[in-house]
Structure 1
Amino acid sequence: MADKTKEAPVPEAIPETVPLLKRKSTLIIILSVVLIFLILISTITVVVLTHRPEPKEKKETDQIYTIIPMRDFLVNLVDYGGRRYLKVSLSLELENIAVKTEIETKDTILRNYIINILSSKTFDDIKSVEGKDNLRKAIILKCNFLLKSGKVLNVYFNDFIIQ
């Protein structure tokens, strides 16, 4: 029994160099992974920031449209008593330069169409912004009906006087 109560001899201590080597190798592996990760992130950032998209074809919005002024229009409005008149100065935004030549040759016909549209309106028809927009759309539709080489894209009112 005396032997059993005696403590077993303690084995010799494991040299401290083995855990130290394990710690150093683990630390080197972790630092290597972090370094590779940082290099990868830096490379991706540089590539993304310096990448320039290929130039795209010109869009229609990049085109410069031709705008031509029309001579002033002075018409009577359709009102009771015939005392109101409308004086309008407008410009046409054209799809291309070929339309400008066509408008110059068909100026009289275009003016006639526009005068008919303007003189068919009442004061109540054109006094609001919505009324002016409807008038603009009617002029565009009538002009595009006549033109063959392109379109009128928009009508701009330079002066709009109702009296």
Structure 2
Amino acid sequence: MSENETTTKKSGNGMKILVIILLVIVLLNTALLAFNMLSGQPLYTLPLQKQAKQPADGECQLFGPEDYTVNLADSGQRRYLKVRLVLTYEDKKMQKELEQRQAQIRDLIILTLRQRTAENLEENGGMESLRSELKSKINTILTTGVIKEIYFTDFLVQ
């Protein structure tokens, strides 16, 4: 045999060995994956998140978020408002009342939002006046406490 034939055979054997090693790795990975899937054990676990701490007395409690999509009072145009808001309060006893009056509060908010026009909302102070109007209207129906603040987490006029 000449020298060229010997190197060709060696490189051909090297390729065969490399392909065999790759096939063995793929088969082992497939077997490991199948075993983990069938055993119901996860391949890895994420660390548990710490449980959210309950606010102490005097700290704000949150109620919501609630989504509202309403048609605006614009004449001649079909415009709508999509808003998500969160109510904050301090007295823990209010949670039960807010849950009991949820339908009444939603109705009040929807009626108030529908009275607005896009121009009212887009002008300076439009959102602030809406916020204070909603807060005062909601507080008139509550008996165990008051809403401290209203936060808009989404606000879209279209």
TM tier, shorter chain? 0.5 to 0.7
For 1:78 and 1:139, the matched residues in 2 are separated by: 17
Deviation at 1:124, TM superposition (A): 1.1
RMSD value over aligned CA atoms?
Answer: 1.4
For 2:115 and 2:91, the matched residues in 1 are separated by: 30
Deviation string 1:32-69 (CA, Å, 9 cap, x unpaired) is: xxxxxxxxxxxxxxxxxxxxxxxxxxxxxx92110121
| Number of the residue aligned with 2:101 | 106
For 1:82 and 1:95, the matched residues in 2 are separated by: 41
For 2:65 and 2:115, the matched residues in 1 are separated by: 19
- Runs (4+) of structure 1 exceeding 6 A deviation are none
Contact 1:65–1:94 at 8 Å: present in 2 too? yes
> How many aligned residue pairs are there?
102
Question: Which of 101, 119, 126 in structure 1 is aligned with 2:121?
Answer: 126
Return the letter of the residue paired with 2:97.
E
For 1:156 and 1:66, the matched residues in 2 are separated by: 12
Return the letter of the residue paired with 1:68.
F
| Number of the residue aligned with 2:146 | 151
Deviation at 1:129, TM superposition (A): 4.4
TM-score (norm. length: structure 1): 0.60
Unaligned 5+ residue runs, structure 2?
A: 1-56
Contact 2:84–2:154 at 8 Å: present in 1 too? yes
| Number of the residue aligned with 2:86 | 91
